[in-house]
Amino acid sequence: MNIRYELTKNPKNKPTADNPLTFGTIFTDHMFVMDYNPTDGWNDARVVPYAPLVLEPSAMVFHYGQEMFEGMKAYKAEDGRVLLFRPDKNIERANNTNERICIPTIPEEDFLQVIKAVVKTDQDWIPTKPGTSLYIRPFIIATDPFLGVRPSSTYKFVIILSPVGAYYPEGLNPVKIWIEDEYVRAVRGGLGEAKAGANYVASLKAQVKAHDAGYSQVLWLDGVERKYIEEVGAMNIFFKIAGTVVTPALNGSILPGVTRRSCIELCQSWGYPVEERKISADELFEAAQNGTLEEVWGTGTAAVISPVGHLRKDDAVVQIGDGGIGELSQKLYDTVTGIQLGKIEGPEGWVVVVE
């Protein structure tokens, strides 16, 4: 794929090392853009200065929400190499999302090439302090100027980059989780397994409710029986119960996380029994009561591993372990971030060098 470059004449000031980075608030000098129309397919691939997009107010994305996104990170290793973590998994998932919401797919090798191109252009923006990285946000929006419900025939694919600090500024601290039994995020047959903005709109109300009650994240139950655990806000969820690692099976309404898959594979390689299955909130509270609920943690690109210290459903609150960080959660965090930074050798193909 041929990529055109139009580099900025006004580079921005990069964040200074003594200023702690937050998450998703500052953006680099450039972005990647390409367009789609039925005649040319994906075309005019370009790296251009980061700037506002100009769209018709009638653009379909504003009215019917035809939008997808991805989230991944680039890291700078101590030897200066720029590393991506399992980008093939994000690209495969992006195209599954595209299929689900009627957006034309992007050839996998082109997708990887354009990610590398824009990351390489702004590689000086990759922070190097522990816990920091360059967050990569590819997304696609429907751009037909049209009111009426059908798939758009034109699209814009954009990749923006954001230097980020730790997702939770407090560090690897246990979070408090609210089990939501009124609102649901997704149902089987819906969009739950697609990475689409629409899922997040559906989640806002419960998130506000949980925040108001002093909880940082919502743990979703299944949309039909509201009994079985699905996932947390933007993370998949894991439990260690009597030595066994348990995570909800991918049932169609759960987002198939790359970090989830990686944790399953690491736990298996360390000899832990791992079960991907249905697990009810009742089973969880029982395990907590009889002392077999040893650890709970969330997994996602943004936070990597997020230990859970408290769970609440209705008026029942349980503390997990001593409310601190579990041993396996810490080991997973150290191992996954070690692999991402090129300090630990991971399984074959997990780390891709941007050249």
Ligand X SMILES: *Cc1c(COP(=O)(O)O)cnc(C)c1O
- Residues within the interface to ligand X (CB under 6 A): 71, 195, 199, 231, 234-236, 255, 257-260, 299-301
Nearer to ligand X, 121 or 199 (CB): 199
With CB atoms as reference, the residue minimizing the distance to ligand X is: 257
Tokens of 34: 């390409």
Q: Measured between alpha carbons, how far is 307 from 323 in angstroms, rounded to an integer?
A: 9
Nearer to ligand X, 28 or 306 (CB): 306
Q: Measured between alpha carbons, how far is 28 from 49 in angstroms, rounded to an integer?
A: 9
Least distance from ligand X to the Cβ atom of residue 44, Å: 28
Nearer to ligand X, 196 or 284 (CB): 196
Nearer to ligand X, 14 or 100 (CB): 100
Nearer to ligand X, 122 or 231 (CB): 231
Least distance from ligand X to the Cβ atom of residue 273, Å: 22
Helices H / strands E in the chain, number of each? 7, 18
- 34: β partners: 157
Are the C-beta atoms of residues 195 and 69 closer than 8 Å to each other? yes
Nearer to ligand X, 14 or 261 (CB): 261
Q: Measured between alpha carbons, how far is 137 from 151 in angstroms, rounded to an integer?
A: 23
Residue 230 is given by DSSP the state E
Least distance from ligand X to the Cβ atom of residue 8, Å: 29
DSSP notation for 11-49: PPPPPPTTS---SS----SEEEEEEEETTTEEEEEEEEE
> Which 3-state string (H, E, C) describes 42-77?
EEEEEEEECCCCCCCCCECHHHHCCEEECCEEEEEC
Least distance from ligand X to the Cβ atom of residue 70, Å: 8
Least distance from ligand X to the Cβ atom of residue 259, Å: 3
Chain CA centroid to CA 149, Å: 28
Count CA atoms within 13 Å of residue 82 on its CB side.
22
Nearer to ligand X, 71 or 127 (CB): 71
Least distance from ligand X to the Cβ atom of residue 85, Å: 10
Least distance from ligand X to the Cβ atom of residue 257, Å: 3
